[in-house]
Structure 1
Amino acid sequence: RAAVAGAPEAAETMLRAARQRLEHHFALEPAILEEIERTGEPVRSVPVRAPATGFILERNAYAGQMVRPGMDLYKMADLTRVWVLASVPEPELGAVREGSRAVITASFAPRLRRTAVVAQVQPRADAQSRTLDLRLELDNPDLALRPDLFVQVEFGRARAARVAVPEEALIDRGFEQIVYVEKEAGLFAPRRVTAGERGGGWVEILGGLKAGERVAASGAFLVDSESRMRSGAR
């Protein structure tokens, strides 16, 4: 019989196509393909291996079930790094942008406190709830966070630089609050100020004093007493 021109090349092309289909669509391992080529016999069962390490979240395949190319047999996830989906109220949006950090806590794990980073902010807010959805990402090495659990997300508020003085520099007369501001070397003059929050030995000054001005700290009460004595003697 005369050989058909180009038949060997066509057969080789079909063989390569079949091999690629088995490799990519059915994920057959090279050892199994080599066994089929060597024996010329079909295989009755093949192992299906997960492409990555993770946890099975959903199972769609059972013994005896017919499967098709592209069908999801299992859904898996790597839970060592997770997403947190949050809805942020409109008044809090000023502190949120991509790259912002937040603290994650959970009622089911009182000691849990993790730092997450905003990876994505949705471009459109919910008109009814007046919230904006965003996605945060964080490491979860101990697997404490699991899918569909509720957590709390707390964003820090950026605060502008504030003027503060030591507590002993502020003199509270009841009807007014003053500090002694240095006019020139060794010369101090009283000035009314508005005090704010206190903490750590410092007092926030909301008004009446500028950043960089020097005030009398130690001995301010004595300076004030001497000033009032001089005023009364006049």
Structure 2
Amino acid sequence: LAYWDITQEQIERIEQTGEVTKRLTLVSPVDGIVVEKNVLQGQQVMPGMRLYRVADLSSVWAEGDVFEQDLQFVRVGSQAHIEVAAYPGQHLMGRVSFVYPTVDQASRTNRVRVTVPNPGLRLKPGMYTTIYFDVERPDVIAVPAQAVVVTGQRNLVFVRDAEGVLNPVDVVLGVRAGDRVQILSGLVEGQTVVAAANFLVDAESRLATTGSAMPGMEHGGAATPAKPPKPKADTMRMDTMRMEHRHD
């Protein structure tokens, strides 16, 4: 009887009375909420049939996908802010409890799991959330992402010198935050780079120009200084993450 999850109290009662009852009360081995009911009163059941599913919703899982290049900033124990459409403007706190071991080949993302305390059971299974991670980083050189010309073999930024001549400079890219991208090498703070919005040529003509008119070319458009971003704490955002629940 104990193997069938009959409580010790019920077993002792049968031993004391010697009576075999046709009815037994099945007690859930865990505290929680019934999230799935597969039987009705009076229905015949078979061995192995799932009757109910009980979930402990005192804490829940929020799962989402992090871009491959951002994985370096997310690890088990990292703090996360959770925002749910049902409670706009309210941020709930959680921590990364698991980072999945594989990267999705199509999206180049890695799934992470955030465990979120759920007092009052306000978070419901199936809710969609937005997850924010606060990342502390030192000041870095950054330029508008559209200022970088990606040829497939080189990453180029056009730097304007004192005479107004545009010179292509090879750069090594770091992480991207919003509309700016980190420059690991190739530029120094204070140099002026041409933003794509003011350098009106498409990618193909830029490549042709790079091959024919280098080392420099005249251009009078507006430019953007290379500079580190103002805040030291960047925020990575993952939209429309599906809330999952944890159960036994």
- TM-score w.r.t. the length of structure 1 is 0.55
Residue 33 of structure 1 corresponds to 11
Q: How does 1:161-180 map to 2 (within 5 A)?
A: none
For structure 2, which runs of at least 5 residues remain unmatched after alignment? 141-188, 191-226, 232-248
Which of 138, 143, 164 is matched with 1:160 structurally?
138
Which of 67, 75, 79 is matched with 1:89 structurally?
67
State the shift of 1:30 in Å: 3.5
Does the residue aligned with 2:89 lie in a helix, a strand or coil? strand
The two structures, once aligned, show a CA RMSD in angstroms of: 2.6
The whole-number CA distance in structure 1 between the counterparts of 2:114 and 2:16 is 52
Distance change >3 Å, CA 198–CA 139, structure 1 → 2: closer
Which of 111, 132, 136 is matched with 2:110 structurally?
132
Distance change >3 Å, CA 156–CA 63, structure 1 → 2: same
The whole-number CA distance in structure 1 between the counterparts of 2:16 and 2:75 is 59
State the shift of 1:147 in Å: 0.5
Does the residue aligned with 2:14 lie in a helix, a strand or coil? helix
**Which one-letter code corresponds to 1:36 in the other structure?**
I
Larger proportion of strand:
2
Q: Aligned residues: percent identity? A: 33
For structure 1, which runs of at least 5 residues remain unmatched after alignment? 1-21, 163-192, 200-234
State the shift of 1:143 in Å: 1.6
State the shift of 1:197 in Å: 6.2
Does the residue aligned with 1:154 lie in a helix, a strand or coil? strand
**Which one-letter code corresponds to 1:78 in the other structure?**
D
**Structure (1 or 2) with the larger CA radius of gyration:** 1
Residue 3 of structure 2 corresponds to 24
Q: How many residue pairs end up in the alignment?
A: 148
Larger proportion of helix:
1
Which of 41, 48, 66 is matched with 2:44 structurally?
66
Residue 109 of structure 1 corresponds to 87
**Which one-letter code corresponds to 2:2 in the other structure?**
E
Does the residue aligned with 1:32 lie in a helix, a strand or coil? helix
- TM-score w.r.t. the length of structure 2 is 0.52
Distance change >3 Å, CA 44–CA 198, structure 1 → 2: closer
Higher relative contact order (CA 8 A, sep 6+): 2
The whole-number CA distance in structure 2 between the counterparts of 1:90 and 1:100 is 16
The whole-number CA distance in structure 1 between the counterparts of 2:229 and 2:103 is 35
State the shift of 1:196 in Å: 5.9
Cα deviation digits, residues 64-86 of structure 1 (max 9, x gap): 23334443321111111111111
